[in-house]
A and B are shown apart, each in its own frame.
Chain A
């Protein structure tokens, strides 16, 4: 069985420095905008100033008269797309406007400055129709057929109403999370060039091949005539997991100037429309427990939004289906279809907002049951995964909670809310659990070729979004092939190499690493230990039969100290502890950074991030980093990060579970629980800002 093949080389697990580090710090690693292209044109988009309706006229004469302007692209002159089935991507095919700031055109010019200036001179007139751009609990809601990643919309087991009526302790809570925007450091960027029917895209993406497949379909060309290049990516966080309209706009405009590359980097302000975001959520959770603090009933009902032009249904309550044991459980998701951009993946879609609500509710319920929140969670630890009925391949949540409690000093906590003050600071501690599924995306293929001189080339199209994949994949390749890391020539980030699935859902290492192991196995089988130069094999991520036998999830626990100024209600977090059970850690150094990044994003979700939509205008009005807050260095205190040794022989040949997102899941709740312990004020609506605490 392939999944029990274990490595002996020792590269996996080493704290290897990033192999791309020197290139990045010396500025020689090319990001999408920086690839050298000849004679480029620069694109600046035109965006709708109404929410819904029709473009009735475009006067581009002033823009076209500007020196350096080559063409103003609008629906009146844009080439036809071959496939307009995806209405998010089918831009400039008609004058219809479906949301505020939707692309209605673009200026191409010889300089960025001329393009931007000209864009401001184009006069667009509209026929406006009524719109609804704000999520309201009492608005029209519908039931989607399924959720993101294929999860069922609703689940029900047992008899929740009966269980609630007989529960010794009950909790009824309403929690909300706001709209949030991904905002990687590198904004979405495309350089597009058409030559003799071939399209090349230098793209900032989490998946070169998924982009290739999408653009090939939309432009009606053979897949192998579209090449996507993405060796370095400045962060994605989900928004670069699927191509958005900005990529299509660049490629569409480039069709009008055959042979000339078109460069389009969206501005920070433009990041707040059209490249995905997290839906706001309204979550109702009810918990029932017996007198021993064992959950007898759990319901989690979610309201969230999608766009009228394309559905995205975040799986917010999916975590509740398996996190804790109970015989009676219901989860539901209802959507409001609005005149808004299409929501998409953002930093643990589903798990992050869902676990904020569930783990806040668990904290409240622990208090009602008179139990320590760690003990309450341990009492409700399930034997098997309730969603699939399967045992876990490994589940070490309890070990994480216990280890974290020890490291953090949980026993020194004063359980009574608002019972600990130091100077003008109210001090509180909070805990929350984390979980994230092991997704195994199919279809990735890896090529291994012996290039002589003890060098093995390992090739596939995967993107390193800044997480350290260049380094981790080199380590995996070394152990899989049975050589040192210096003998590996890794080549990724280009569709010229074999297909690789998206760097999303914390799945990259599982999918690509499994393909590497399979290719290495076949390579040795065919070419032995002394291959000839040019010997080569290609292999695919094999199916893992163990997924039929085991539920596979990573787990973790967070501990947070929050301080709240008694006069101003400013919240600061001087320390966080995170303990993870995520299988084998491939690279301790980059893994620590990923966990720290996740926990920082969780803190950011708890205290800072909130996209404010003005319903009258239909768009996010705090559209820059002065107004949309993320933490500064000064907001991040001591980060104590560790993991337990977990040997999971079932997940994949590396024994790894994926660590990109688990740091985010639950950490926001740990902050909220700590703020409650500090102040006695339970904030159920993120973010936790001073205005919600001041009395």
Chain B
């Protein structure tokens, strides 16, 4: 672990300005991911700017009927919020499926979104990794890759994004509000995380110095019929092999609208737009759900150890939609 400078900014403007002038600095919120990585020297910032107290830690209503979640809202508080539980249950379920009680108390909404992708080779500074050292090679492609990506990977990186919360937010059409050196902007969550392509070192589209200040959830009625299902090797405290967040609107047995996002399969929360498209206007049946899942998974490119994720994802998509269609009647 390298020594670093610790700074507590007075406000968001100050934090952004400080980071803008310090190319190797990083924001610190809960620290549940960053500090671990610093111990391993995977991340070596020379300055941490503490933003934990700078953004809102409340969930508030928006004029359009949606909700605004302050970036500093802890995961445990967000999971317990009654508006989230009743109107966006998939989000609450996803949060509770993540990490441990202690970590959820410390981790923030903004920080959870900005978790780094996971890969054991990336976390071990003695093995080659394009994400850590661009051009050094990917150890996972021909190594142990059971937990790695089946969708949207590149020859440079096959890591997966570990957040449960972000998968639910991807299904629920969240918007991310950001303040940076160039001012404020609002990013659809689809555009926050990125696929590795030939720049695997970049997990998100944020520029250096940009700070997430809040997350907005749109007022969509059928999101109250949403669900998160996480498949993992032990009952708690494990990353998803595959997870699914889905919301379903059914009328007279016909799919009016649907949202599906997958976790554990790609470098980002994977919005299953092909499956969604295949289902709109179709009867809500197991066969159709399964067929839609297959359409989404047609592009899957499994690695040595993770071919099981294809049938697993198909089963979990199908089962989650069936659960929602029964509950949504």
Contacts and interface: CB of A to CB of B under 8 A. Distances in A.
Contact of A612 (B144, B231, B235): B144
A113 B3 contact: yes
A614 B144 contact: yes
A621 B231 CA distance: 22
Interface stretch (B6-14, B106-114, B308-316): B308-316
A29 to B, nearest CB: 23
A634 B120 contact: no
B126 A690 contact: no
B127 A608 contact: no
A691 interface: yes
A8 B40 CA distance: 57
B235 A632 contact: yes
A690 B126 CA distance: 30
B245 to A, nearest CB: 15
B1 interface: yes
B17 interface: no
A49 interface: yes
A570 B231 contact: yes
Given A117-B2, A120-B2, A633 B233 contact: no
A568 B144 contact: no
A127 B312 CA distance: 45
Interface stretch (A190-198, A410-418, A455-463, A623-631): A623-631
A621 B233 CA distance: 18
B274 interface: no
Interface string B303-329: 001101001100110110000000000
B144 A621 contact: yes
B213 interface: no
Contact of A568 (B40, B231, B237): B231
A622 B239 CA distance: 13
Contact of A622 (B3, B120, B305, B306): B120
Contact of B1 (A117, A424, A572, A607): A117
Interface residues of B, number: 34
A117 B123 CA distance: 17
Contacts of B315: 567-568, 694
A689 B3 contact: no
Contacts of A689: 233
A49 B312 contact: no
Contact of B319 (A117, A567, A617, A691): A567
Nearest to A570: B231
Given A570-B231, A631-B234, A690-B233, A626 B311 contact: no
A635 interface: yes
B139 interface: yes
Contacts of A616: 139, 143
B1 A629 contact: no
A632 B308 contact: no
Interface string A610-652: 0010101100011110110101111100000000000000000
B235 A621 contact: no
B3 A623 contact: no
Contacts of A569: 312
Contacts of B1: 113, 116-117, 120
Residue of A629, A631, A690, A695 with most partner-chain B CB within 10 A:
A690
A120 B233 CA distance: 34
Interface residues of A, number: 35
Nearest to A624: B123
B60 interface: no
A569 B242 CA distance: 12
B3 A614 contact: no
Contacts of B316: 567-568
Given A627-B120, A690-B308, A617 B127 contact: yes
Interface string A90-115: 00000000000000000000000100
A116 B1 CA distance: 6
B241 interface: yes
B298 interface: no
Given A120-B41, A568-B315, A635 B234 contact: yes
Contacts of B238: 626, 629
Contacts of B40: 269
B232 interface: yes
A626 B233 contact: no
A623 B121 CA distance: 10
Contacts of B120: 621-623, 627
B233 A607 contact: yes
Contacts of A424: 319
A614 B139 contact: yes
Contacts of B121: 621
B328 to A, nearest CB: 18
6 contacts: A567-B316, A567-B319, A614-B144, A626-B238, A632-B236, A691-B312
Given A120-B2, A567-B319, A617-B127, 18 more contacts: A570-B231, A614-B127, A614-B139, A614-B143, A621-B143, A622-B120, A623-B120, A629-B233, A629-B234, A632-B235, A633-B236, A634-B234, A634-B235, A634-B237, A689-B233, A690-B312, A691-B312, A695-B311
- Ranked nearest first, the 6 interchain pairs of A and B with the lowest CB-CB distance are A634-B235, A691-B308, A634-B236, A567-B315, A632-B236, A567-B319
